[in-house]
Structure 1
Amino acid sequence: MNTYEEKTIKRETIFEGKIISLHVDEVKLPNGNTSTREIVEHPGAVAVIAITDEDKMIMVEQFRKPLEHLLIEIPAGKLEKGEDPIECAKRELGEETGYTCEQIEHVTSFYTSPGFSDELLHIFLAKGLKKNSHLHLDDDEFVNLLEVSYEEVQQLIKEQKIYDAKSIYAVQYWQLIKTMER
């Protein structure tokens, strides 16, 4: 056994929903003691850094119930079972923004909250954007489409309107791209 590995002794499923499952695991710790871990299983997600030819970032404003307020975020969505992340990224970009892209490339993937969840988020960069259609939102999804300049994004961060990790990461990546283009 790895020095720090925790071996699962027992698993109790507390909840299974459309998006997540919640389990409570009893684990054996490296020192021989036992403890419990609350674990959220998530199928994974994608997010898209979409930059227009006019050097604006495509973002969506939506109400986030867990936070009880509006957030401005990069387009993102949940992976369907067995779905290729790049195909999911193209789908989510189209559904949430009405845009398609000529180029899309994987930037990075990271675990969003490894202390309690196995969600893996894949981030893509989309270029050569074309506005093709209206939004194709889920029945329970309501968003306001925004095209924001780099300066506007900085102000939205200061105002805590852009306040989630994936979108902050996207802005930092955009800044890196801009620096490298100089």
Structure 2
Amino acid sequence: MSEAPQPDPLEERELASEPVFDGRLLKVRRDTVHLPDGKQGVREYIRHPGAVAIVAVLPDGRLIFERQYRYPLRRAFLEIPAGKIDPGEDILACAVRELREEAGYRADEWQYLGVMHPCIGYSDERIELFLARGLTHIGNALDEGEFLELLTLSLAEAEAAVHGGRITDGKTIAALFRALPLLRG
């Protein structure tokens, strides 16, 4: 008979929770928690529905990137196709939808790369990472108010862009890192 798992000595248990802000995308909460030393503390954090990000590989081996303006930092960023998971949506279905909407491609082969948590100190957001191959261009269908430029980079160019500071987006860096062994064969 197996032993019951031991509780994590660092766990903080929720005692009370209250909404601070309830927006279209983000919801901010303030929780009172029981700390490991027996005292109480307050934790404020953002609830996020989750997202997907796709390393999309063209038949010639080049990778699809987007240049998109990100308002919070007031500048455009180079990143891979990605988007928010709709309520109840399967993560692969979301990846298929986002690759079509943003980049205009359908993929014949999908491989799950894993999950990353981009802002563990203040958000529960998770980003599910995928590799897409066997791409066919079918035309994009951007969401209203969504503007981006598509471009392609070789794997070497993408790596150089990360190391040179041209790509600083966390999900893009994490997805490329997770995909590297598969992309290098």
TM-score (norm 2): 0.90
* Aligned position for 2:166: 161
* Aligned position for 1:30: 36
Quick check: 1:119 aligned with 2:125? yes
Structure 1: stretches of 5+ with no match in the other structure: none
Opposite residue 101 of structure 2, the aligned amino acid is E
Is residue 113–residue 119 contact of structure 1 (8 Å, CA) maintained in 2?
yes
* Aligned position for 2:56: 50
CA distance 1:84–1:178, change in 2 (3 Å): closer
Deviates more, 1:12-21 or 1:83-92: 12-21
Deviates more, 1:137-146 or 1:110-119: 110-119
Percent identity at matched positions?
36
Opposite residue 155 of structure 1, the aligned amino acid is A
Alignment length (residue pairs): 179
> Following the alignment from structure 1 to structure 2, what is the Cα–Cα distance between the partners of residues 30 and 169?
31
CA distance 1:110–1:156, change in 2 (3 Å): closer
Please state how far the C-alpha of 1:159 moved relative to its aligned partner. 4.1
SS of structure 2 residue aligned to 1:26: strand
> Following the alignment from structure 2 to structure 1, what is the Cα–Cα distance between the partners of residues 40 and 182?
47
Is residue 116–residue 174 contact of structure 2 (8 Å, CA) maintained in 1?
no
1:33-182 to structure 2, matched below 5 A, reads 33-133=39-139, 135-179=140-184, 181=185
Which of 14, 19, 24 matches 2:25?
19
Is residue 70–residue 161 contact of structure 1 (8 Å, CA) maintained in 2?
no
TM-score (norm 1): 0.91
Opposite residue 145 of structure 1, the aligned amino acid is L
> Following the alignment from structure 2 to structure 1, what is the Cα–Cα distance between the partners of residues 118 and 176?
17
Please state how far the C-alpha of 1:9 moved relative to its aligned partner. 2.1
Structure 2: stretches of 5+ with no match in the other structure: 1-6
SS of structure 2 residue aligned to 1:175: helix
Q: Indicate the RMSD between aligned Cα atoms, in angstroms.
A: 1.5
